[in-house]
Amino acid sequence: MPARNPALGVGLVVLGATCFVVNAGVSRVALRAGVDPAMLTTIRVTSTEVLLLAVALLVRRSALRPPRGRLLVLVFAHGLIGVAALQWTYFVAIDRLPVGMALLLEYQAPIIVALWAWLVQRQRVRARLWLGLGLAVVGLAAATGVWEGATFDTVGVIAGFGAAICFAAYFLIGEAAVGGHGAELDPLRMILWSFATATVVINLFEPITGFDTGMLDDSVSLLGRFADVHVPLWAVLGWIVVLGTVVPFFAELLALSFVTATTVTQIAMLEPIGVAALGWFWFGESLGVIAVLGCFAVVAGILLAQSARIDQREIAEPPLIT
């Protein structure tokens, strides 16, 4: 297992979060160009798996070896829950709820991860962790304007909480496979077989063969501030696959080799804030005073939660609840 390197781990998470933020805008371009959300998910996951296979063939053929035993179970669960189910529940949530509410529900994941680390993994944390997470959640609600047009939809709310559970599972299962003591999977092998599982599952419901390839050469507008700029649809989809999926998913999974899942998910809470800022800059969406204050509250909450971690050097024996 690589030595813990918080600076490198945090840098990888920030890289992943930045790519995910920009991908939100690029994905909107693809959706407005007529690509169905379910088909976009299939294209994203399937193409990512093809690219990962190519990378493994070129740089690390050992990653092509299927995992066995406990590791096979972890990889299957990671692909089924942390990739395929996460994509599906997220799209259901944003289809039935305001986007702000859907994001707020999905980003309860850091609380789930923190509770798991405390109750199940028995990691020691300081009490201000909960204050920090609470402040971040309130700030996130303000930043995303969750009360604007809020409606209660049972299926949507269940899907939103389901997305939070799947999001947390992505990091917890990934940590068990690549970041824990005795980990046997390198991140490339882990993500390769996770996306293989997700690809099979997603194509059962929305086969990629149903995509109209004639659309690939269509010239599409980048919308908003860049409405006068037109690019081929294949370039937009290529961005979504490479910089919107492969790079961020791999970066955040690799980060688990250097920092804990709790740290990764706390920092990942910055993603909705970035999306709000992107919407203001790119698409001219409003970003009022309350939203800005909410952004600062999220950052403050994350910093407070981070300061609650107990340095591993303080723990000579397996951690206990405090």
- State how far the alpha carbon of 137 is from the alpha carbons of 15, 103, 107, 273, 319, in Å: 22, 11, 8, 11, 27
Instruction: Give the up-direction half-sphere exposure of residue 267: CA atoms within 13 A in the CB hemisphere.
Output: 25
Q: Which phi and psi (to 5°) does residue 221 adopt?
A: -80, 145
Question: Which residues, including other chains, have CB under 8 Å from residue 263's CB and lie 6 or more apart?
Answer: 6, 9, 10, 13, 306, 309
Model confidence at 2: pLDDT above 60: no
Domain region containing 46: 6-314
| Residue 167 included in any domain | yes
- The encoded tokens of residue 264 equal 């990764």
| Residue 321 included in any domain | no
| Residue 322 included in any domain | no
| Residue 85 included in any domain | yes
| Residue 83 included in any domain | yes
Residues 198-231: tens digit of each pLDDT: 999 999 989 999 999 999 999 999 988 899 999 9
The total of structural domains in the chain comes to 1
pTM: 0.75
**What sign results for the dihedral spanned by CA atoms 53, 56, 59, 65?**
negative
Residue recorded with tokens 């397996």:
318
- State how far the alpha carbon of 197 is from the alpha carbons of 83, 111, 264, 281, in Å: 9, 27, 23, 37
Query: How far apart, in whole angstroms, are the C-alpha atoms of residue 258 and residue 262?
Result: 12
| Residue 263 included in any domain | yes
The 8-class DSSP code of residue 108 comes to T
Which residue type, as a one-letter code, is found at position 152?
Answer: F
Contact 19, 248 (CB under 8 A): yes
Q: Which of 81, 100, 158, 143 has its CA nearest to residue 302?
A: 143
Residues 127-182: tens digit of each pLDDT: 777 787 788 778 777 766 666 655 567 788 888 889 889 988 988 888 777 755 44
**What was the pLDDT predicted at 243?**
93
Residues 241-280: tens digit of each pLDDT: 999 999 998 888 888 788 877 778 777 777 777 877 887 8
**What was the pLDDT predicted at 311?**
46
Which residue type, as a one-letter code, is found at position 172?
Answer: L
How many other C-beta atoms lie within 10 A of the C-beta of residue 147? 12
| Residue 198 included in any domain | yes
| Residue 129 included in any domain | yes
Residues 4-18: tens digit of each pLDDT: 577 888 899 899 989
